[in-house]
Structure 1
């Protein structure tokens, strides 16, 4: 009788140990797959983690600086979060607003006086934001042009009356800056960084 109880106890103990080992293996498998997905998400383009639209970011800038016009917009990954930096001019002042691209919360804002030369240039630098392609479309065009990679940064700017998106595309250790017409979506130029 004692032998039978001992055998049953030993069998139950074995089942419990095997069940515990099975649980440990499956939780290790989860850890491995989680770290793999974290690694792949770190190489996603900055627009993939941005929840705030370009229109919403511009609206926030206009709320903070009602009499200002936007002169440049940048979206980049800063410490693992997307950050918009909008610059603009209004009257005799230059303004800058940084927004969290996930939440829309203001990170910082500042204004400073423009000197007379900069005041004269301010009108020329104002962006016409009507019908500008979205940041995600600009990134898709740039990444497609480079046959893959991811974008860590992009900037909407103007030079010689041409408004363009400049998208920084990474492919392995190589970085390429792709300039795209902000209205038509055509590639204006590419520049390889060494």
Structure 2
């Protein structure tokens, strides 16, 4: 009888130990699942925050790209090269204003950045000392491999430290084609010059 009692006691202790181990493993698994869920939630939150910050660097950009606008200009004036390009707004609508030259004339046209409609075409004869490719060689912009409006806007806003890109000009200085982007943050406007091909920031100046 005594042996039977001892045996039953040992068996009971074994069952108790097994239950305790299972409970510990279950708690550990639940803790691990909770930590994993928290980490995933944090990652999702970080990703959403990053996407939101990227979206705020500029307002909604026009549907007509810079490359498309340049192509419209070149289709209109096949022998001309682009010497200046601006993208700005009039009454809330985006318009490209592009200037260019060939061997004898200077051209300018305005392109609706949503519909591609062309307006305000202008042709003016070059001065004698600017003809025969002189002005063409001096002022021609490098329009190959241009960074997109989104890319240069992000660079400009990051350089300023916040705000929104509102105006874009493509120009040339010291044989370098660059974007000049205007960033507005509150009441402050800052002009940022960016190499149009490499994205290097060339100059930053607060607009008085």
Range of TM-score over shorter length? 0.7 to 0.9
CA distance change for structure 1 residues 115 and 141 in 2, over 3 Å: closer, same or farther?
same
Q: What's the RMSD between the two structures over aligned residues?
A: 1.6
CA distance in 2, matches of 1:59, 1:154: 18
Q: Does residue 125 in structure 1 map to residue 133 in structure 2?
A: no
**What secondary structure sits across from 1:63 in the alignment?**
helix
CA distance in 2, matches of 1:96, 1:146: 32
Encode CA deviations 1:58-112: one digit per residue, 9 max, x unaligned: 1110111111011111111111001101110012100011011111111321110
2:150 matched to which residue of 1?
136
TM-score, reference length from structure 2: 0.69
Unaligned runs of 5+ in 1: 1-42
Which of 103, 107, 126 is equivalent to 1:95? 107
Which of 167, 170, 174 is equivalent to 2:181? 167
Encode CA deviations 1:102-153: one digit per residue, 9 max, x unaligned: 1111132111011123333331111121111112211111011112211221
Which of 115, 129, 136 is equivalent to 2:127? 115
Encode CA deviations 1:137-191: one digit per residue, 9 max, x unaligned: 1111101111221122111111110110000111111110000011110100101
CA distance in 2, matches of 1:171, 1:117: 44
**What secondary structure sits across from 1:140 in the alignment?**
helix
Note the C-alpha offset of 1:44: 7.8
CA distance in 2, matches of 1:72, 1:135: 16
CA distance in 1, matches of 2:150, 2:139: 23
Which of 78, 82, 87 is equivalent to 2:90? 78
Contact 1:45 1:152 in 2 (8 A): yes
Unaligned runs of 5+ in 2: 1-55
TM-score, reference length from structure 1: 0.73
CA distance change for structure 1 residues 134 and 44 in 2, over 3 Å: closer, same or farther?
closer
Query: Structure 1: which 4+ aligned runs deviate by more than 6 Å?
Result: none
Larger Rg: 2
**What secondary structure sits across from 1:185 in the alignment?**
coil
